[in-house]
Chains A and B, each alone.
Chain A
Amino acid sequence: MTFPYKGYAGYYAEVDLTKGKIHKREMEKEWARLYLGGTGVAAKILWEETGPETDPLSPDNVLVVGTGPLTGVMFSPSGRMMFAAKGPLTGVWAESHVGGFFGPEVKYAGFDFVIFKGRSPKPVYLFLRDGTAELIDASHLWGRETDVTTDMIREEHKDPEIKTGIVGPAAENGVLYSSIIVDRYRAAGRAGLGTVLGSKNVKGIAASGSLGLEAYDMEKYLEANEIEMQRVCDPIWTESLTSLRKYGTTDLVAIINEIGRLPTKNHWTGFYEDADDIGPEIIAEKYRIAQEACHGCEVGCKYIYRVKDGRFAYGPAGGPEYETIMSFGSNCLNNDIESIFHLGTRCDLLGMDTISCGKSIGFAMELWEKGIIDKNDTDGLDLSWGNVDSMVELVEKIAKREGFGDILSKGVRKAAEIIGGDAWMYAVHVKGLEASGQDPRAHQSIGLTYATNVRGADHLRSLSSLEELGYPDIVKARFDDDKTEAILDIMSPKHKGEVVWDIEDLYALVDSAVICKYGTMWPPIYYFDTFSNVIAPLTGMDDWSNPKFVKQSAERINHLRRAYNHRLGITRKDENLPKRLLKEPMPTGPSKGGLPDLDEMLDEYYDYRGCDKETGYPKKEKLEELGLDYVVKDLGKRKMLAK
């Protein structure tokens, strides 16, 4: 093997589904050195393989399964991995990350990346074991739900240790926000990557491996790792971590409602009066039966629930996270927690993103309230707020793309186009992706995050928890002293362009390494120095011990993903917010009256990012400084560089 770096498995599989052939190739040295792994490498691959002419659901689209150097090597948390492709829901860059045990297993099976191309003539799944990759007939699995499929694959190979990433019936049917479900109840949910796999006739990926991963300098790496782990033990994080361990992300329902940021009634407001009914205490008391952790994670935010009796009796199964509770709960004015468990689990089994699904239903409920749709449009369903029966039925109809469910299976942007009239006013999305469980009217910087996120209205590319959790010492250490006060003011737009720029760079590394947002975002423990400490001794890439190189790599990844979107036509006019979040002052709750000052923040962000304020296009010099000459050449031809 000539690939020189450790920590990686050292190989990737290029799967030509049309021909049914797999090429096992050595990892590219420059992929690792310049783009690290995960989202960085995926950006490089998708930039080369897809573009404006690629139809996301055609054989031309390419789906990348990615891990990073920190996947599976004892860094806590190291159970993460990601998927990326051109998005079917949005038509732009799409990536989605997931925890559990599948990512590490892909590496132990001998692969850092899998690249799916073409379309298989019949249903297949990819099986990875100890350096070999094989396409196996999946006709008997087609149409099955994600848990059964995983059980059947394990049974087929007589190996209960097999880990899986599976798509459900929703993806097979072409629901545009289908997820990829890992190990039964963890989801790479957002942006419809499951739909892309389904369109390629791929039921999933299964991996089981006994190949080890080496470190370049094991002693030094473990030492550096230990220093990072000690950071987690700092008493300032105790409160946040204790809550994550005790409640998981369900605690956010209470915390976020308290500051008036909990999307309620299709984002009409940010305060839900019945939040206690769907909050952390009742879940911990009545339904939570165990704590779980992803591979090698010391946070352990996952929980297992069981509903003992009644109509929604089910479990044990992975409990719904904050976003799911928000989406099917407050967002639809539904305070029946047992129904939320049911809806979340059904989405996992059918393979659908709980955020986009719940948001699509909330959108329809508001259209019903406004009289834009009625029983004739909804196949007779009564879509009054909080109507659990209708929600339960609608989730099944969406997965089958049956009747009104078919319209909602396309997401709120396309559904609003189909329904017409004023429906667009209630479609809360950016770039076609339904907004996640935040609200910029209660937290300024989230407006900028939603607007600039390459995959659409979602918090995970750059959400800043600094002003929300309020860690003045951390803010002082990261930014100029005199900015501290304004940065810590959650409703001040001042310096938020810089903050979001900084955090977007940090998360580019988090998503390439690939590690979790718990520990980097919430609470904000790890920072750029984490990467300069651990990557070099692990991999042997000397450049990564240089903080300047680390920061530049982060910028390189961000600019490449942005350029990918520019090439598809995205400019400043698309880095915007839906009318509701930009123009309608928060009507009730603790953040009443709030509105984001998006333009001010965007101007500052573009400055820091090295982009033109009018178009959002990158400056030539910035790209050249980052070694992105091939991007300069391509965007130059398309007249997509800053003037």
Chain B
Amino acid sequence: MNNLLAIDVRKCTGCRNCELGCSTAKTKTFNPARSRIKILKNEQESTIVPMVCLQCEVALCVDACPTGAIVRNEHGTLYVYSDDCIGCGNCVTACIYGGIEIDPMTRKAIKCDLCSGDPACVKACDYKAIELVGSKADDFTRRAEGISRLSPVYIYEEKEAEH
């Protein structure tokens, strides 16, 4: 079963097409602000940081939610029940990876649900930086690698080290 997104930040050019793919799939509009995946860019430091839900085993967002709106579905994917969400934003505060957000239009929490196993962002990424992987030990390692590279300084030096 595939239930994680592994992102190789070294391949990411910051084009944000994943945001467009996601918002198109989820909202039928082109609207990066409502995308479940986000690309943070800092031109001054030349850093590009993709952010998306990591489907944590111990999920801080779940613990923070006062109404129990975030649950793990049968595929192991963390899912927000919109009807139960009160838009308090506790989950946003709790998540240390920026993996959950409040939708600017509905004012409810939104996060990646892996598009039921066929993620729009993976298809939209022309640079093949995003991959849907399984839950084997190796896959967890790749997720962890992705996270460790998110340290801006690290990204910068690693990109440089390639040359």
* Chain A residues at the B interface, C-beta cutoff of 8 Å: 72-74, 76, 79, 101, 104, 108, 147, 151, 160, 183-185, 209-215, 218, 222, 284-286, 288-298, 300, 304, 306, 315-318
Contacts and interface: CB of A to CB of B under 8 A. Distances in A.
Contacts of B160: 289, 306
Contacts of B104: 210
A292 B14 contact: yes
B33 A209 contact: yes
Nearest to B13: A293
B17 A296 contact: yes
Contact of A298 (B15, B21, B156): B15
The 6 A-B pairs of least Cβ separation, nearest first, read A212-B29, A212-B31, A210-B33, A316-B46, A298-B126, A293-B15
- Most chain B beta-carbon neighbours within 10 Å: one of A212, A300, A304: A212
Interface residues of B, number: 34
B81 interface: no
Contacts, number: 98
7 contacts: A108-B32, A210-B31, A212-B31, A222-B24, A290-B46, A292-B13, A315-B46
Given A290-B159, A296-B15, A300-B127, A184 B33 contact: no
A286 B160 CA distance: 10
A183 B28 contact: no
B44 A151 contact: yes
Contacts of A104: 32
A294 B126 CA distance: 13
A79 B20 CA distance: 12
Contacts of B105: 210, 212
Given A160-B42, A290-B46, A214 B15 contact: no
Contacts of B44: 147, 151, 184, 316
Contacts of A286: 163
Nearest to A219: B28
B138 interface: no
B46 A74 contact: no
A315 B104 CA distance: 35
B30 A72 contact: yes
Given A298-B126, A304-B46, A316-B45, A74 B30 contact: yes
Given A74-B20, A298-B15, A212 B34 contact: yes
Contacts of A211: 31
Contacts of B159: 289-290
A108 B31 contact: yes
Given A101-B41, A298-B126, A300-B126, 20 more contacts: A72-B30, A74-B20, A76-B17, A79-B15, A184-B43, A184-B44, A213-B29, A213-B30, A214-B30, A289-B46, A289-B160, A292-B13, A293-B15, A295-B15, A295-B16, A296-B15, A296-B17, A297-B15, A304-B46, A306-B160
Nearest to A226: B123
Interface in B20-52: 20-21, 23-24, 27-34, 40-46, 48
Given A298-B15, A316-B46, A289 B33 contact: no
A160 B16 CA distance: 16
A266 B15 CA distance: 36
Interface in B124-147: 124, 126-127
B13 A300 contact: yes
B15 A300 contact: yes
Interface in B26-83: 27-34, 40-46, 48
A297 B18 CA distance: 11
A210 B17 CA distance: 16
Given A101-B16, A184-B43, A293-B14, A214 B28 contact: yes
Contacts of A300: 13, 15, 126-127
Contacts of B41: 101
Contacts of B34: 210, 212
Contacts of A294: 15
A73 B124 CA distance: 12
Contacts of A315: 46
A438 to B, nearest CB: 28
A462 to B, nearest CB: 28
B30 A73 contact: yes
A218 B24 contact: yes
A79 B29 CA distance: 17
A517 B21 CA distance: 23
- Most chain A beta-carbon neighbours within 10 Å: one of B29, B42, B43: B43
B101 to A, nearest CB: 11
Nearest to A71: B30
Nearest to A315: B46
A306 B42 CA distance: 15
A640 B141 CA distance: 72
A211 B23 CA distance: 11
A295 B23 CA distance: 14
Contacts of A289: 46, 156, 159-160, 163
Given A213-B31, A298-B126, A316 B156 contact: yes
B20 A296 contact: yes
Given A108-B32, A210-B34, A300-B127, A74 B156 contact: no
A288 B17 contact: no
Nearest to B103: A210
Contact of B30 (A212, A284, A297): A212
A619 to B, nearest CB: 41
A160 B46 CA distance: 14
A222 B23 CA distance: 13
Contacts of B126: 76, 298, 300
A290 B156 CA distance: 9
A74 B43 contact: no
A73 to B, nearest CB: 5
A291 B33 contact: no
Interface string B109-130: 0000000000000001011000
Contacts of B46: 289-290, 304, 306, 315-317
A153 B41 CA distance: 16
B16 A296 contact: yes
A212 B27 contact: yes
Nearest to A233: B126
A8 B95 CA distance: 35
A355 to B, nearest CB: 23
Contacts of B32: 104, 108
A184 B46 CA distance: 11
Contacts of A79: 15
Nearest to B46: A316
Nearest to B41: A101
A289 B127 CA distance: 17
A401 B23 CA distance: 48
Interface string B146-160: 000000000010011
A295 B17 CA distance: 7
A289 B163 CA distance: 7
Nearest to B11: A291
Contacts of A318: 43
A183 B16 contact: no
B55 to A, nearest CB: 25
Contacts of A290: 46, 48, 159
A286 B163 CA distance: 7
